[in-house]
Every structure is written in C-alpha cells, then in structure tokens.
Amino acid sequence: MPQYVLALDQGTTSSRAILFDRQGQVFACAQQEFPQHFPQPGWVEHDALDIWNSQLACARKVMSDSRVPASQIAAIGIANQRETTVVWDRASGEPIAPAIVWQDRRTAGACDRLREAGYARQISRSTGLELDAYFSATKLQWLLENVPGARERALAGELCFGTIDSWLAYQLCGRHVTDVSNASRTMLYNIHTMRWDPFLLDLFGVPESMLPEVVRSSGQVGLAREEWFGRPIPLSGIAGDQQAATFGQACYDKGMVKNTYGTGCFMLMHSGYVPPVSRNRLLATIGWKIDGRTDYMLEGSVFMGGATVQWLRDGLGIIKDSNEVEALATSVPDSGGVMLVPAFVGLGAPHWDPYARGTIVGMTRGTTKAHIARAAIEAIAYQSAELLAAMQKDAACPVMEVRADGGAARNDLLMQFQADLLGVPVVRPAVTETTALGAAYLAGLAEGFWSSREEIQALWRAERRFEPDMPAERRAELRTRWARAVEHAKGWVEH
C-alpha cells in the first residue's frame, strides 16, 4: 500500500516538493530557488525550463533523500503560481519565449485601452475578474503579437498556451490540461458556463487550438512518465496555489476565510456554490471542482507580501536573511510613525492601480532600519486588513477567524499585528505548508488515499491562536493613517 502523496508546490521564487503521510503531516521536503528576470521596469519573467528543471529536481531529491520509492507514492498533486503565462511548441515542448509572470505590468496600457472601449464590465461579468494586467489574457495577447511568427504558428495549431500547472502537466505526462481553478484566473474562462469564452478569445485574439482541456481539480489526469521517477505515478490533483491553500486549510464551509502570506498575500473566503458578485472590487473565482460540484470563492490579492521582506534583504541590504526581520522589527516598540506602501508592482485589491509605486512616508531623523523593517511587516497586515473589510461588506456575514499560512505566517509579530488590525482571531495551523497540502489532498482524494473532505477536516489542527489586543480607537487611527499613505502611492507612474 502506498504511504505517501507527493505535492509539487511551484511558487514564484522557488519550486518545492513535499511528501505527505496519511495524517497530512510533512514527511520530507526539498526546495530550490530559480532565477528571476527583470528586463525592463515593471517586467517580470521566468525561464519556463528553469521552472520545470527545478521542480523535477526537487521531486527526485525529496524521494532520494527520504528513500521513498515511486511504488510508495499514491499520487502527485500540483499547486502552482497562478496567471503566469507560458507558450510552448506542441511538438518539442520547448517554450517560445520567457514566461510572463503574474507580477508583470507590461500590459497595463492594453488594459487601459480595453477599459476605455467599454469592455471592463463584460469581462468582469463573464470571468469574475477585474480587467488588469495581473491575469493571463493580455500576457498571452502580448506574446502572440511580439514574438516573431507566434500568431501564425498558433493559428496553425503548433503552439500550446498554459499557466504553470499546464506546463508541468505537459512535461510530466504529455497532457495539455488545466484545472478549473487555474482556468478561472486566465480572464478567458467563463465561470458561469464553465467553458472558454468565445467572445473573450476573439477579443484577445487567442486561437482556441492553443488552449488546454479543462479538468476537475481532483481526478486522475494521466501518469507521470516512467523516466522521471522510475515508474509511472498518477497525476491526480491540480489547483492554483491559493485555491490549494484554501483546500489545505479545510475551508469547506461558506464564510470560512484563509490568508496566505507568501510572495504576495491572498485572502479567500468560501462563498458557496454559485459565482459571487463583488461590489467592492474583489474577485469571484473558482475554488475547485470535485465530483461534479464547484465551490466558489471571493478573493483579494496583495501583490507584495513576503516579497517586501525580500526587498529589505536584496534591495536595501538591511538584513542578510529574511528570518532576521522579526528580531530587527521587535527591537523597536513601533514603526515610529513610518508607513511603507509596497506598491512596487502596483496595487491589487481593492485599489487595482497598476501605476502606483512603492512609497515610504513619515520618516524623521530618528528613523532607523528597525523602524523601516517594522513598517514593512506592518504593511503586509494593513493590506490584508483592507481585503477582509471588503469581503465582509460583500458577504454580509461575520468572519469568526482567519486561518493563516505561508512562509510569513511564522512571524509572530506579523500574526499578532494582523489580529489587532482585523479585530478577529488569526489562527496558524500546525502544518503551515497548506498550499502543498491542499494539492496533496486533492490528489489523494482522487486515488482513495483519503476517503472524504470530512476525514481531511478532522486532520486539521491549530498550532497557535492570536487574539486581537488593540483598542478599537487605536485600530481605526492606524487604518486611517494607512489609507492616507496609500493615496500618496497611487498613480505615480505617468501613462
């Protein structure tokens, strides 16, 4: 009997592979960073082969280091950075250009032109998304228009488009597929009809032959080729990283909320079994599809979460390792009035301003690197607090707690400040690798490794609960000050 499920957690800055046992516990993990490319201001690219090679290397390493053979792995699940766009040759499997990453802003002008032409409302009605360069549609359009010969080759059926899940599935087992959660992030998929939208394909000039087959999130897609792991292993679960994290957090009931503190911050609220409508500039997105039933989410996206701490390390050099930031930030009692708005790639929900840029306000001669570090941590919490406020307005139901995960969720200062700003408890689970865990659960359910969602819910455990401990007046004062700082960051780039 296989004893493990292998999760491939393909993120924005690194690839990871994690083996989970039947109790949903991490048995072994391997991780590898890969290069980030910034060829022009506002552009962010990856080499898709770096992504595949690093992901395969991690999978092989976690198996070899733990001495777990392929025969002991029931299934593979994929969780992936979403919206990042890859186009590759159908025959050779080689990418035709660098992958355009979700953070990339090069198509902001194209979105402006579509908005001015009056298409924003129709796009939102069909896809549940804001018209923004964040999503895949304008990235794919840009590749077709700017890579020599790409459009002609696409029309001839020679090219495949996919988000990172599609790219990995193609390399693993030769299938050109995506699951419903990733499809819903492309701005080409109609979340009501559950099909690629003909109007949007025509609007963005995308030949339908390029598109992957859309499959359910939990179900066998194919077998990973024997050459990769020594014997075939079923690929049986796929979900975008944030939907996977929501599944891993066992947020299966309407009104449950999780927030992932990764490169960005992504808050999702389970909204039921029909597409929600946001009046506060949140996204309606598909969570997952299992056994014929589709779960929907409200989502708010913050583009710079943990990446803000990386900037302190790589950009400013005020820390040598990201793990040092909490000690530096707690060396001062507060930020000394400093507010850092990390709009380095624009602002996501609920502002959707691609022309905003990073701003630090409130500095004095007494400001130190410790104050800036604390302001950076607090900025992550301020942005997430804006998301929950919008969700509560949309959902019109009280939120009892927020389940937190992701690398930055290990930061106690951030978690406590987040609870203080939200006014509701923030709960950190015993297993914080919930993105990978969600992918494992989806794959394991398909293969009978776990029997039901109820069994998975029973496995969820809290590690620590952070209770709010800030007077309401102070909370309101800080959030008002944050709103003022955000206004200084907006519309900075002329367009």
By the 10 Å C-beta count (0-12 exposed, 13-18 middle, 19+ buried), 123 is classed as buried
Task: List residues bridging with 224 in a β-sheet.
Answer: 233
| Residue-by-residue DSSP string for 353-389 | BTT---EEES--TT--HHHHHHHHHHHHHHHHHHHHH
User: What's 252-319 look like in SS3?
Assistant: CCCCCEEEEECCCEEEEEEEECCCCCCCCCCEEEEEEEECCEEEEEEEEEECCCHHHHHHHHHHHCCC
**Distance separating alpha carbons of residues 388 and 257, to the nearest angstrom:** 9
**Is 243 labeled as ligand-binding?**
no
**Is 296 labeled as ligand-binding?**
no
**Distance separating alpha carbons of residues 99 and 87, to the nearest angstrom:** 7
Q: What distances in angstroms separate CA 211 from CA 134, 188, 382, one per listed residue?
A: 19, 10, 38
Tokens 């583009």, located at residue: 303
**Is 469 labeled as ligand-binding?**
no
**Distance separating alpha carbons of residues 138 and 135, to the nearest angstrom:** 7
Torsion, Cα 323 428 358 331, to 10 degrees, reads -50
If DSSP codes are grouped into helix, strand and coil, which group holds residue 96? coil
CB 261 within 8 A of CB 378: no
Q: Are strands 293-302 and 265-272 parallel, antiparallel or unpaired?
A: antiparallel
**Is 411 labeled as ligand-binding?**
yes
List CB contacts of 210: < 8 A, sequence separation 6 or more. Answer: 87, 140, 154, 159, 160, 161
**Is 310 labeled as ligand-binding?**
yes
Q: State which amino acid sits at residue 95.
A: P
Cα angle: 235, vertex 240, 241; to 5 degrees? 105
**Is 407 labeled as ligand-binding?**
yes
**Is 306 labeled as ligand-binding?**
yes
**Is 83 labeled as ligand-binding?**
yes
**Is 241 labeled as ligand-binding?**
yes
Q: Any idea what DSSP says for residue 346? A: B
**Is 12 labeled as ligand-binding?**
yes
Binding site feature residues: 12-14, 16, 82-83, 134, 241-242, 263, 306, 310, 407, 411
Binding site feature residues for ATP: 12-14, 263, 306, 310, 407
Binding site feature residues for sn-glycerol 3-phosphate: 12, 82-83, 134, 241
Binding site feature residues for glycerol: 82-83, 134, 241-242
Binding site feature residues for ADP: 12, 16, 263, 306, 407, 411
